[in-house]
Amino acid sequence: MLLARKVALVTGASRGIGKAIALGMAREGADVVVNYCRSEEKANEVACTIEALGRRTLVVKADVSKQDQVEAMHRQVVKQFEGVDVLVNNAGEHHHLKCWEIDESEWRHVLGVNLGGVFLCSEAFSHEMKAKKWGRIINISSIVGFTGTDHEVHYGASKAGVVGLTESLALELARYNITANSIAPGEIETDMTASETVEERKKALELIPLGRIGQPEDVANVAVFLASDRASFITGQTIHVNGGEAMF
Protein backbone atom coordinates (compact mmCIF):
# COMPACT_ATOMS: atom_id res chain seq x y z
CA MET A 1 0.00 0.00 0.00
CA LEU A 2 1.22 3.47 -0.92
CA LEU A 3 0.52 5.05 2.48
CA ALA A 4 1.07 2.24 4.95
CA ARG A 5 1.98 3.48 8.45
CA LYS A 6 1.21 7.08 7.52
CA VAL A 7 -1.22 9.43 9.25
CA ALA A 8 -3.18 11.89 7.13
CA LEU A 9 -5.36 14.84 8.10
CA VAL A 10 -7.96 15.97 5.57
CA THR A 11 -9.79 19.22 6.30
CA GLY A 12 -13.37 19.47 5.13
CA ALA A 13 -13.51 15.69 4.88
CA SER A 14 -17.20 15.11 5.56
CA ARG A 15 -18.28 15.27 1.91
CA GLY A 16 -17.30 15.78 -1.70
CA ILE A 17 -13.63 15.92 -2.63
CA GLY A 18 -12.48 15.84 0.99
CA LYS A 19 -14.42 12.66 1.68
CA ALA A 20 -13.02 10.99 -1.44
CA ILE A 21 -9.48 11.94 -0.45
CA ALA A 22 -9.90 10.68 3.11
CA LEU A 23 -11.25 7.33 1.91
CA GLY A 24 -8.66 7.07 -0.85
CA MET A 25 -5.84 7.50 1.63
CA ALA A 26 -7.39 5.01 4.04
CA ARG A 27 -7.63 2.42 1.23
CA GLU A 28 -3.90 2.91 0.67
CA GLY A 29 -3.10 2.17 4.31
CA ALA A 30 -3.20 5.56 6.05
CA ASP A 31 -4.85 6.33 9.35
CA VAL A 32 -6.99 9.41 8.74
CA VAL A 33 -8.07 12.40 10.79
CA VAL A 34 -11.45 13.62 9.53
CA ASN A 35 -11.93 17.34 10.04
CA TYR A 36 -15.30 19.01 9.63
CA CYS A 37 -16.95 22.30 10.59
CA ARG A 38 -20.71 21.73 10.31
CA SER A 39 -21.59 18.23 9.04
CA GLU A 40 -20.96 16.08 12.11
CA GLU A 41 -23.18 13.18 11.01
CA LYS A 42 -21.52 12.96 7.61
CA ALA A 43 -18.07 13.19 9.18
CA ASN A 44 -18.89 10.28 11.47
CA GLU A 45 -20.09 8.27 8.49
CA VAL A 46 -16.75 8.84 6.78
CA ALA A 47 -14.95 7.75 9.96
CA CYS A 48 -17.02 4.57 10.14
CA THR A 49 -16.02 3.69 6.59
CA ILE A 50 -12.37 4.32 7.42
CA GLU A 51 -12.60 2.03 10.45
CA ALA A 52 -14.28 -0.64 8.31
CA LEU A 53 -11.16 -0.56 6.15
CA GLY A 54 -9.12 -1.46 9.23
CA ARG A 55 -7.61 1.98 9.77
CA ARG A 56 -7.58 4.21 12.82
CA THR A 57 -9.42 7.52 12.65
CA LEU A 58 -10.24 10.62 14.63
CA VAL A 59 -13.09 13.04 13.95
CA VAL A 60 -12.34 16.65 14.87
CA LYS A 61 -14.63 19.65 14.57
CA ALA A 62 -12.71 22.83 13.79
CA ASP A 63 -13.18 25.97 11.73
CA VAL A 64 -9.83 26.20 9.96
CA SER A 65 -10.13 29.99 9.66
CA LYS A 66 -9.88 30.28 13.47
CA GLN A 67 -6.38 29.97 14.91
CA ASP A 68 -7.55 28.82 18.34
CA GLN A 69 -9.62 26.02 16.79
CA VAL A 70 -6.75 24.92 14.56
CA GLU A 71 -4.42 24.84 17.57
CA ALA A 72 -6.97 22.80 19.55
CA MET A 73 -7.28 20.36 16.65
CA HIS A 74 -3.50 20.10 16.52
CA ARG A 75 -3.35 19.20 20.20
CA GLN A 76 -5.96 16.46 19.74
CA VAL A 77 -4.13 14.99 16.77
CA VAL A 78 -0.74 15.05 18.49
CA LYS A 79 -2.25 13.38 21.55
CA GLN A 80 -3.62 10.47 19.52
CA PHE A 81 -1.21 10.20 16.59
CA GLU A 82 1.86 12.28 17.56
CA GLY A 83 1.26 14.47 14.51
CA VAL A 84 0.54 13.77 10.86
CA ASP A 85 2.63 12.78 7.87
CA VAL A 86 0.20 14.09 5.27
CA LEU A 87 -1.86 17.29 5.47
CA VAL A 88 -4.57 17.92 2.89
CA ASN A 89 -5.97 21.44 3.06
CA ASN A 90 -9.30 20.91 1.37
CA ALA A 91 -11.84 22.88 3.46
CA GLY A 92 -13.43 25.65 1.46
CA GLU A 93 -16.33 28.06 1.10
CA HIS A 94 -18.02 28.70 -2.24
CA HIS A 95 -20.65 31.46 -2.59
CA HIS A 96 -22.10 32.58 -5.95
CA LEU A 97 -22.03 36.38 -5.60
CA LYS A 98 -21.03 39.20 -7.89
CA CYS A 99 -18.35 41.58 -6.60
CA TRP A 100 -20.95 44.28 -5.84
CA GLU A 101 -22.87 41.79 -3.70
CA ILE A 102 -19.89 40.93 -1.50
CA ASP A 103 -19.50 42.90 1.71
CA GLU A 104 -16.35 42.98 3.83
CA SER A 105 -17.48 40.23 6.20
CA GLU A 106 -18.25 37.89 3.29
CA TRP A 107 -14.88 38.68 1.70
CA ARG A 108 -13.01 38.04 4.94
CA HIS A 109 -14.92 34.81 5.62
CA VAL A 110 -14.19 33.18 2.26
CA LEU A 111 -10.55 34.32 2.24
CA GLY A 112 -10.23 33.22 5.86
CA VAL A 113 -11.35 29.66 5.18
CA ASN A 114 -9.95 29.08 1.69
CA LEU A 115 -6.59 30.78 2.11
CA GLY A 116 -6.14 31.55 5.79
CA GLY A 117 -7.05 27.98 6.71
CA VAL A 118 -4.31 26.63 4.46
CA PHE A 119 -1.76 28.83 6.21
CA LEU A 120 -2.95 28.10 9.75
CA CYS A 121 -3.06 24.32 9.27
CA SER A 122 0.26 24.23 7.43
CA GLU A 123 1.93 26.23 10.16
CA ALA A 124 0.48 24.09 12.94
CA PHE A 125 1.04 20.65 11.47
CA SER A 126 4.42 21.18 9.83
CA HIS A 127 6.26 21.15 13.18
CA GLU A 128 6.17 17.36 13.58
CA MET A 129 6.95 16.91 9.88
CA LYS A 130 10.07 19.04 10.28
CA ALA A 131 11.17 16.98 13.28
CA LYS A 132 10.71 13.73 11.33
CA LYS A 133 12.27 15.15 8.15
CA TRP A 134 9.31 13.85 6.13
CA GLY A 135 5.99 15.31 5.17
CA ARG A 136 3.46 16.02 2.46
CA ILE A 137 1.26 19.11 2.23
CA ILE A 138 -1.42 19.04 -0.45
CA ASN A 139 -3.57 22.10 -0.98
CA ILE A 140 -6.78 22.14 -3.00
CA SER A 141 -6.94 25.14 -5.32
CA SER A 142 -9.30 25.45 -8.31
CA ILE A 143 -9.36 26.02 -12.05
CA VAL A 144 -10.82 29.48 -11.37
CA GLY A 145 -7.60 30.43 -9.61
CA PHE A 146 -6.09 30.40 -13.10
CA THR A 147 -8.96 31.31 -15.42
CA GLY A 148 -10.91 33.69 -13.22
CA THR A 149 -14.68 33.52 -12.90
CA ASP A 150 -17.62 35.76 -13.75
CA HIS A 151 -18.89 35.50 -10.21
CA GLU A 152 -17.47 35.12 -6.69
CA VAL A 153 -14.24 37.10 -7.03
CA HIS A 154 -13.40 36.27 -3.42
CA TYR A 155 -13.36 32.54 -4.24
CA GLY A 156 -11.19 33.07 -7.32
CA ALA A 157 -8.77 35.28 -5.40
CA SER A 158 -8.49 32.78 -2.55
CA LYS A 159 -7.77 29.88 -4.87
CA ALA A 160 -5.13 31.84 -6.77
CA GLY A 161 -3.60 32.71 -3.41
CA VAL A 162 -3.43 29.02 -2.50
CA VAL A 163 -1.08 28.45 -5.44
CA GLY A 164 1.30 31.21 -4.37
CA LEU A 165 1.22 30.03 -0.77
CA THR A 166 1.95 26.47 -1.87
CA GLU A 167 4.98 27.51 -3.91
CA SER A 168 6.42 29.46 -0.98
CA LEU A 169 5.78 26.57 1.41
CA ALA A 170 7.59 24.27 -0.99
CA LEU A 171 10.67 26.49 -0.93
CA GLU A 172 10.63 26.96 2.84
CA LEU A 173 10.11 23.30 3.72
CA ALA A 174 12.20 21.50 1.09
CA ARG A 175 15.23 21.40 3.41
CA TYR A 176 13.15 19.27 5.79
CA ASN A 177 12.16 16.77 3.08
CA ILE A 178 8.61 18.12 3.11
CA THR A 179 6.89 18.62 -0.23
CA ALA A 180 4.04 21.05 -0.88
CA ASN A 181 1.86 20.82 -3.96
CA SER A 182 -1.58 21.96 -5.00
CA ILE A 183 -4.37 20.37 -7.02
CA ALA A 184 -6.63 22.54 -9.17
CA PRO A 185 -9.89 20.71 -9.93
CA GLY A 186 -12.18 21.78 -12.72
CA GLU A 187 -15.86 20.82 -12.90
CA ILE A 188 -16.29 18.06 -10.30
CA GLU A 189 -19.50 16.27 -9.26
CA THR A 190 -20.00 17.62 -5.73
CA ASP A 191 -22.56 19.52 -3.68
CA MET A 192 -21.16 22.70 -5.22
CA THR A 193 -22.25 21.65 -8.73
CA ALA A 194 -25.41 19.77 -7.75
CA SER A 195 -27.52 22.93 -8.02
CA GLU A 196 -26.61 23.54 -11.66
CA THR A 197 -29.46 23.71 -14.13
CA VAL A 198 -29.64 21.42 -17.15
CA GLU A 199 -28.50 24.28 -19.35
CA GLU A 200 -25.57 25.10 -17.06
CA ARG A 201 -24.50 21.45 -17.06
CA LYS A 202 -24.70 21.31 -20.84
CA LYS A 203 -22.51 24.40 -21.19
CA ALA A 204 -20.01 22.98 -18.70
CA LEU A 205 -19.72 19.72 -20.63
CA GLU A 206 -19.13 21.60 -23.88
CA LEU A 207 -15.98 23.07 -22.37
CA ILE A 208 -14.48 19.72 -21.32
CA PRO A 209 -12.66 17.85 -24.12
CA LEU A 210 -12.95 14.52 -22.28
CA GLY A 211 -16.73 14.93 -22.38
CA ARG A 212 -17.62 14.23 -18.76
CA ILE A 213 -17.86 15.91 -15.40
CA GLY A 214 -15.06 14.90 -13.06
CA GLN A 215 -15.68 12.73 -10.01
CA PRO A 216 -14.26 13.38 -6.52
CA GLU A 217 -12.19 10.21 -6.94
CA ASP A 218 -10.39 11.80 -9.89
CA VAL A 219 -8.99 14.38 -7.48
CA ALA A 220 -8.46 11.85 -4.69
CA ASN A 221 -6.28 9.65 -6.92
CA VAL A 222 -3.92 12.57 -7.53
CA ALA A 223 -3.83 13.44 -3.83
CA VAL A 224 -2.91 9.85 -2.92
CA PHE A 225 -0.10 9.91 -5.47
CA LEU A 226 1.28 13.22 -4.20
CA ALA A 227 1.18 11.88 -0.64
CA SER A 228 3.20 8.80 -1.56
CA ASP A 229 6.92 8.19 -2.01
CA ARG A 230 6.27 7.95 -5.74
CA ALA A 231 5.97 11.75 -5.76
CA SER A 232 9.06 12.41 -3.64
CA PHE A 233 10.69 14.63 -6.33
CA ILE A 234 7.61 16.76 -6.98
CA THR A 235 7.18 19.97 -5.02
CA GLY A 236 5.85 23.46 -5.64
CA GLN A 237 3.65 22.22 -8.46
CA THR A 238 -0.03 22.51 -9.33
CA ILE A 239 -1.67 19.45 -10.86
CA HIS A 240 -4.70 20.35 -12.96
CA VAL A 241 -7.57 17.88 -12.85
CA ASN A 242 -10.08 19.30 -15.30
CA GLY A 243 -10.56 16.95 -18.26
CA GLY A 244 -8.70 19.36 -20.55
CA GLU A 245 -11.03 22.29 -19.88
CA ALA A 246 -7.98 24.52 -19.41
CA MET A 247 -4.36 23.72 -20.19
CA PHE A 248 -1.30 25.40 -18.68
> Over its length of 248 residues, how does the chain's per-residue pLDDT go in tens digits?
999 999 999 999 999 999 999 999 999 999 999 999 999 999 999 999 999 999 999 999 999 999 999 999 999 999 999 999 999 999 999 888 999 999 999 999 999 999 999 999 999 999 999 999 999 999 999 999 999 999 899 999 999 999 999 999 999 999 999 999 999 999 999 877 777 788 888 988 999 999 999 999 999 999 999 999 999 999 999 999 999 999 98
What pLDDT score does 113 carry? 98
Domain residue extents for the chain: 7-241
Contact 53, 106 (CB under 8 A): no
Contact 234, 178 (CB under 8 A): no
What pLDDT score does 153 carry? 97
What pLDDT score does 201 carry? 86
Q: Which of 36, 119, 125, 155 is catalytic?
A: 155
Packed helices 153-173 and 117-132: angle between N→C axes, nearest 10 degrees: 20
Question: From the CB of residue 69, how many other CB atoms can be counted at a distance below 10 Å?
Answer: 18
SS3 labels along 73-116: HHHHHHHHHCCCCEEEECCCCCCCCCHHHCCHHHHHHHHHHHHH
What pLDDT score does 63 carry? 98
31 sits in which H/E element: strand 31-36
Torsion on CA atoms 224, 55, 42, 33, rounded to nearest 10:
-70
What pLDDT score does 191 carry? 78
What pLDDT score does 206 carry? 94
- Let me know if 155 is a catalytic residue: yes
Contact 152, 94 (CB under 8 A): yes
Distance CA 154, CA 160 (A): 10
CA 130 to chain CA centroid, Å, is 21
Selected from 3.40.50.720, 3.40.1350.10, 3.40.720.10, 3.40.50.2300, the CATH number assigned to the domain covering 7-241 reads 3.40.50.720
